[in-house]
Amino acid sequence: MAQNVSMEDFEALLNESFEIDTPAEGSVVKGKVIAIEAGQAIIDVGYKMEGRVDLKEFSNPGEAPSVAVGDEVEVFLDRVENARGEAVISRDKARREEAWDRLEKAYASEERVEGAIFGRVKGGFTVDLGGAVAFLPGSQVDVRPVRDAGPLMGLKQPFQILKMDRRRGNIVVSRRAILEESRAEQRAEVIGNLTEGQTVDGVVKNITEYGAFVDLGGVDGLLHVTDMAWRRVNHPSEILSIGETIKVQVIKINKDTHRISLGMKQLQADPWDSVESKYPLESVHTGRVTNITDYGAFVELEPGVEGLVHVSEMSWTKKNVHPGKIVSTSQEVEVMVLEIDSAKRRVSLGLKQTMRNPWELFAETHPEGTVVEGEVKNITEFGLFVGLPGDIDGMVHLSDLSWEERGEDAIQNYRKGDMVKAVVTEVDVEKERISLSIKALDDSFSGAVEGVKRGSIITVTVTAIEDGGIEVEYEGAKSFIRRSDLSRDRAEQRPERFQVGDHVDVRVTNVDQKTRRLGLSIKAREIAEEKEAVEQYGSSDSGASLGDILGAALKGGDE
């Protein structure tokens, strides 16, 4: 067979055949496994070339090698010949090249890729994406922080590629993005099946100060503490525990934010529906103190119905005291219903109304004139405050301390804590005021003037002579007769015509128990005697002189 082939053409054909027979180094070629020995697979890559690959290069992390004699595999041709005259080939590199091509396509089309977490590195984990190794940051493992990633290791699962850089060999993936996506789909589906007012079962997942998060099957709803019960709940853990299954009502669904508000109390009857009929005004009930504030105390009448006892309705006597000094939390107390406002769900209660008004009680048990004994609680510029039964005070005014001394001087004789006796002179229930008198205890005046009335004629003893009149005494009670009352005759209105020790008949013009004074007058006695004489013995008009009439009267009086 004659072929006219020039030398140049032959050279060109030879070179071409070399290029066909000898694949370029750095490319991926197909080969056949012809033997497996000493942990290596011997692969015929054609072109009369063989190479060796460690079996472990045929396995995925955590799996046994999957290769057998006769298998066709792709390998990376590093070098055509090594020192042993073999081709230097690598399954890993072939897989990596293949994987990068596949991953770049997936990244461009935002598709998920399958891989397995196989190692832990600083800040996250390593993931095998079927030949290419990617980095999975710790924050991208799950929706919530994962304490133990052990159960996730070696599992084939989908990942989302976040970043790729072939030149640097960097791939960053996320597992969280996929979970969130599927969670969002699940949430949308669950929320789509929920309606406001519907009753559903849920599992308590988390408890906070202000409420609990309840899993409704892939979507969480918030059960606020105020919607757990009609009664006051201080902390959700009083009612719920994590993992518990509860019945809840869907109160509100926010379609935009996918937030679901839940309620438990809405499944029970509202106790406020029967408050007005159950707690009529001025009825008395026993309740429990649930909370104490500066302005009063809250008392629970029944679960879900609380009333406020305002500080002004707590005690008859303790006016400027903190409510905590009068009642304590959890204490059982008797209260009276004062007012109900169903619209605002408010009940006003009174504590003091269940006890008798101590001033009323005192007025009943201590009428005016009763003698009481008590401790001096306070001393002021206008008198003494004395402690009385019922935890109330009475006041002794300066003017009621002593008959003899001025009030300002008499008050100096008393000290805080002294026990004193006094007479009740007035009780004003409305003004919550009790007036007492210490000087009223001295009843000698009443004894001395017993039987003495206005108009009586009594005999007194002169005890002192003064310019303005004379001082006299009757049974220990002193009085003063003014100069103008010493005689009917102006010439005789001279105090000096009397001497200390003289006995004088006088007429009583006034008996003043309050000031312990007798009003006395010699002049009034003389006028009265004359009037009586005139009436008895004729009038001065009948011609008889006054002297005759008086003489006859006196004579008649002697007989």
- The single residue listed with the structure tokens 């039964």 is 389
Do the beta carbons of residue 487 and residue 477 sit within 8 Å?
no
Residues 502 and 479 in one domain: yes
pLDDT: which is higher, 42 or 241: 241
For residue 346, is pLDDT > 80?
yes
Report the mean per-residue pLDDT for the chain. 76
Q: What pLDDT, on the 0 to 100 scale, is given for residue 76? A: 62
Statement to judge: residues 275 and 335 lie in one domain: yes
pLDDT band at 551 (very low <50, low <70, confident <90, very high): low
* Boundary-marking domain end, from 301, 327, 348: 348
Does residue 357 surpass a pLDDT of 70? yes
* pLDDT band with cut points at 50, 70 and 90 for residue 233: confident
Q: Is the same domain home to 427 and 465?
A: no
| Confidence bin at 1 (pLDDT 50/70/90) | very low
Closest CA to 249 of 208, 211, 214, 210: 214
State how far the Cα of 504 lies from the Cα of 517, in Å rounded to an integer: 18
pLDDT value for 221: 81
Same structural domain, 42 and 97: yes
Given a cut of 80, whether residue 263 has pLDDT beyond it is yes
What integer is the mean pLDDT of 477-483? 80
Would you give the DSSP letter of residue 141?
Answer: S
**CA distances (Å), 442 to each of 87, 312, 480, in order?**
137, 40, 21
Range with the largest mean pLDDT of 41-50, 176-185, 276-285, 540-549: 276-285
Check residue 23 and report its DSSP letter.
P
Q: Which of 169-183, 282-296, 448-462 has the lowest mean pLDDT?
A: 448-462
Same domain, 32 and 79: yes
Task: Give residue 478's identity as a one-letter amino acid code.
Answer: K
Domain assignment of residue 14, yes or no: no
- 386-395 average pLDDT score: 84
Determine, yes or no, domain membership for 515.
yes
Angle, CA of 62, 67 and 71, to the nearest 5°: 150
Strand ranges in 401-452 using DSSP code E only, listed in sequence order: 419-428, 433-437
Residue 83's pLDDT band (boundaries 50, 70, 90)? very low
Closest C-alpha to 397, from 415, 416, 410: 410
Percent of the chain whose pLDDT exceeds 70: 73
Q: How far apart are CA 220 and CA 214, in angstroms?
A: 5
Q: What is the mean pLDDT of residues 215-240?
A: 80
Query: How many Å apart are CA 50 and CA 85, to the nearest integer?
Result: 9
In a domain, 505, yes or no: yes
Residue 80 scores a pLDDT above 80: no
Which residues on adjacent β-strands are paired with residue 251? none
pLDDT tens digits, 289-315: 988 899 899 998 888 788 888 888 888
SS3 84: coil
Q: Which amino acid is at 190?
A: V
The encoded tokens of residue 412 equal: 């100096």
**For 37-41, 222-226, 373-377, which range has the lowest pLDDT when averaged over its residues?**
37-41
Residue of 221, 242, 240, 239 whose CA lies nearest to 231: 239
- Tell me the pLDDT band of 35, cut-offs 50, 70 and 90: low
> Structurally, how many domains does the chain consist of?
6
CATH code for the domain of 223? 2.40.50.140
Question: 84 and 36, same structural domain?
Answer: yes
Rg (CA), the chain: 59
Exposure pattern of 156-167 as b/e (b: 16+ CB <10 Å)?
eebbbbbebeee
In a domain, 449, yes or no: no
Closest CA to 398 of 446, 443, 439, 442: 439
CB 179 within 8 A of CB 143: yes
User: 279 is written with which tokens?
Assistant: 């707690």
Does position 37 have pLDDT exceeding 80, yes or no? no
Beta 245-254 vs 72-79: how paired, if at all?
unpaired
List Cβ neighbours of 493 (8 Å cut-off, separation of 6 or more). 483, 484, 486, 487, 523
Domain boundary among 299, 319, 348: 348
Using CB atoms within 10 A of its CB, is residue 334 exposed (0-12), middle (13-18) or buried (19+)?
middle
Answer with the residue of higher pLDDT: 180 or 246. Answer: 246
Instruction: Retrieve residue 483's tokens.
Output: 């100069």
pLDDT single digits (tens) 86-145: 655 555 566 666 677 777 787 777 788 888 888 888 878 888 877 678 888 877 877 776
Q: Is the pLDDT score of 68 beyond 70?
A: no
Query: In the prediction, which pLDDT does 491 show?
Result: 76
Residue 559: pLDDT over 50: no
The answer to whether residue 3 scores a pLDDT higher than 60 is no
Residue 5 covered by a domain? no
Question: How many other CB atoms are found less than 10 A from the CB of residue 99?
Answer: 20
Considering the domain architecture, whether residues 396 and 326 belong to the same structural domain is answered as: no
Residue 513 belongs to what domain range?
454-536
CA–CA distances in Å: residue 201 to residues 241, 244, 248, 294: 15, 10, 6, 41
Better pLDDT: 243 or 309: 309
| Structural domain contains residue 13 | no
Phi, psi of 130 (to 5 degrees): 70, 45
DSSP state of 129: -
Q: In sequence order, which residues have a C-beta less than 8 Å from that of residue 259 and are 6 or more positions away?
A: 222, 253
Does residue 468 share a domain with residue 532?
Answer: yes
In a domain, 559, yes or no: no
Q: Is the pLDDT of residue 84 over 70?
A: no
Q: Would residue 446 count as lying in a domain?
A: no
Place of tokens 């005291």: 321
The SS3 call for residue 271 is helix
Q: Are residues 103 and 25 in the same domain?
A: yes
Average pLDDT over residues 471-478: 76
Place of tokens 């406001």: 196
Q: Quick one: 115 and 87 in the same domain?
A: no
Q: Which of 224, 246, 265 is the last residue of a domain?
A: 265
The more confident residue out of 430 and 444 is: 430
Is residue 429 scored above 80 in pLDDT? yes
Contact 19, 61 (CB under 8 A): no
